[in-house]
Amino acid sequence: MVFSSLMFMFCFLPAVILLYFAVPDKLKNTVLFICSLIFYAWGEPVYVVLMLFSTVVDYTHGRLVDKYKRSGQDKKARRALASSVIINLALLCFFKYADFAVGTVNSIFGTSIAALDLPLPIGISFYTFQTMSYTIDVYRGQAKVQNNIISFGAYVSLFPQLIAGPIVRYQTVAEALNRRKTTADKFSDGVMRFVVGLGKKVLIANNIGLIWDSVSALDFSTLTVLEAWLGIIAFTFQLYFDFSGYSDMAIGLGKIFGFDFPENFDHPYMSRSVTEFWRRWHISLGMWFREYLYIPLGGNRCSKAKWLRNIAIVWLLTGLWHGAGWNFVAWGAYFSVLLIIEKLFLLKRLEKLPSAVRRGYTFLLVVFSWVMFSIDKMPDILKFFGAMFGVGRCGFANTDGIYMLLTNVVLLAVAVLGSTELPLKLSKEIKGKLSERPVVLETVKTLFIALVMLLSVAYLVDSSFNPFLYFRF
């Protein structure tokens, strides 16, 4: 089942906040755990059992790893760690990749094995990586074992970032799970961050996504160059504002409840290389693969051949993490090739070019990647690339494409400017000018929050379905 409308969050959230601050500190994790399970069960009433199973498995294995490490039984500790990783990966592979494997076998060997047609549990890729990181960090001695299963369950199921991240390593929130405090300033900052994220999702991502919806519904072999480029650029900004908007909402809600979640985006479309782009986009996923796969494989502290192998493995698995389809395999392979080329020789040459050229180079390559990311059938991907480069007889533009451009030019301009550092610089400038007039500053902030919230709610009331794009991962 696909997760329900954002309107549920507005009905659910105020009650959770009121209950959370009404109970004593010792019950706050219990409130978060129970409310998070209710939140998840609203969209996945059956698979909440799967989340509880993962919670119990990793809680138990964490205790076992700690017990064996403290008693010097490292071999048993490794076995407990391996058991945890195998169970987690088995669940992820079964629910996410079983039908992909069946379809691949059928196409290669001409068999007719029936697909399982299992619905993908929401957020399984995110919370599986989180729970695995806990057991691994306990084994490494980078995190203390959590002896309270309710507190651990609150970490696993924490609803602000449960569905689409950021991926929060246990060591990041370990201290806050046991002891945290929400100040008035932190609460205010959290509300502001949440509303900014909501505005990104509802006012920008949803609206610019309508362009992509229109283009992707057409026969790709009939697209003009203008329609193809408009469509994929719209998707480029839809994905950014949708996903970064969710991350902002999660980080904001985390602050409200006393947590400090890691940043997940840092203006990635301002990057001057593909290497830099992946330091700025989905930062928590990149850090996870670096810490738990790339470095254990040897990273770059090995022979050049093994180093290149490590990059290829990480990026093929990164592609598969995003989805069970050959388009995601191609997407991961695409980035592995680009990153290898940059690291071998291109980065040094790029540094000699003007920043505008480097940013244009990076943005163009990223746009190409989103074609593979957004379209699931390889023949359609090739058709779309063909349309982008004028292969065929459809020409550069038609009246539909021109009308689409003219009616959305303001929205596109807002998306472009909003993806740069300009809004952040403007915000800092306003705060600087009003720093000596705190009443005026707070009034401006309140009016901004109220306006964005009002516009967002008005949009949501008029719209019945608003899933985040990363819910499917």
Nearest CA-CA partner of 172 in 158, 192, 188, 191: 158
Domain presence at residue 468: no
pLDDT greater than 80 at residue 157: yes
pLDDT tier at 470, thresholds 50, 70, 90 = low
Q: Does 27 lie in the same domain as 170?
A: yes
Active site residue 322: yes
Q: Does 216 lie in the same domain as 97?
A: no
Higher-pLDDT residue of 121, 388: 388
Among residues 61, 267, 282, 322, which one is catalytic? 322
Q: Does 196 lie in the same domain as 175?
A: no
Non-local (6+) Cβ contacts of 371 within 8 A are 232, 381, 384, 385, 388
Q: Write down how long the chain is.
A: 473
Domain presence at residue 64: yes
Q: Does 153 lie in the same domain as 57?
A: yes
DSSP codes joined into one string, 413-472: HHHHHHTSSHHHHHHHHHHHHTTT-HHHHHHHHHHHHHHHHHHHHHHHHT-S----GGGG
pLDDT tier at 48, thresholds 50, 70, 90 = confident
Quote the mean pLDDT of the chain: 89
Q: What is the pLDDT of residue 273?
A: 97
Tokens (6 digits) for 195: 């509303």
pTM here is 0.91
d(CA 186, CA 312) in angstroms, rounded, equals 41
Domain presence at residue 472: no
- Which residue's structure tokens are 């969710």? 246
Non-local (6+) Cβ contacts of 22 within 8 A are none
Domain presence at residue 453: yes
Tokens (6 digits) for 449: 């929050």
User: Among residues 180, 210, 225, which one ends one of the domains?
Assistant: 180
Domain presence at residue 84: yes
Q: Does 267 lie in the same domain as 143?
A: no
Q: Does 19 lie in the same domain as 144?
A: yes
User: Among residues 150, 180, 210, which one ends one of the domains?
Assistant: 180
Buried b / exposed e over 146-174, threshold 16 CB at 10 Å, is: beeebbbbbbbbbbbbbbbbbbbbbebbb
Q: Does 236 lie in the same domain as 104?
A: no
- Total domain count for the chain? 2
Q: Does 204 lie in the same domain as 317?
A: yes
Q: What percent of the chain has pLDDT over 90?
A: 60
| Start-to-end CA span in the chain (Å) | 13
Domain presence at residue 135: yes
Domain presence at residue 2: no
d(CA 289, CA 405) in angstroms, rounded, equals 39
pLDDT greater than 60 at residue 238: yes
114-137 per-position pLDDT tens digit: 888 888 888 888 888 988 999 999
Q: Does 295 lie in the same domain as 154?
A: no
Domain housing 312 = 186-461
CB 452 within 8 A of CB 104: no
Q: Does 223 lie in the same domain as 133?
A: no
Q: Does 199 lie in the same domain as 163?
A: no
Q: Does 291 lie in the same domain as 175?
A: no
User: Among residues 163, 180, 197, which one ends one of the domains?
Assistant: 180
92 alpha carbon, distance to own chain's centre = 17
Domain presence at residue 470: no
- 344 SS3 class: helix
183-226 per-position pLDDT tens digit: 888 898 999 999 999 999 999 999 999 999 999 999 999 999 99
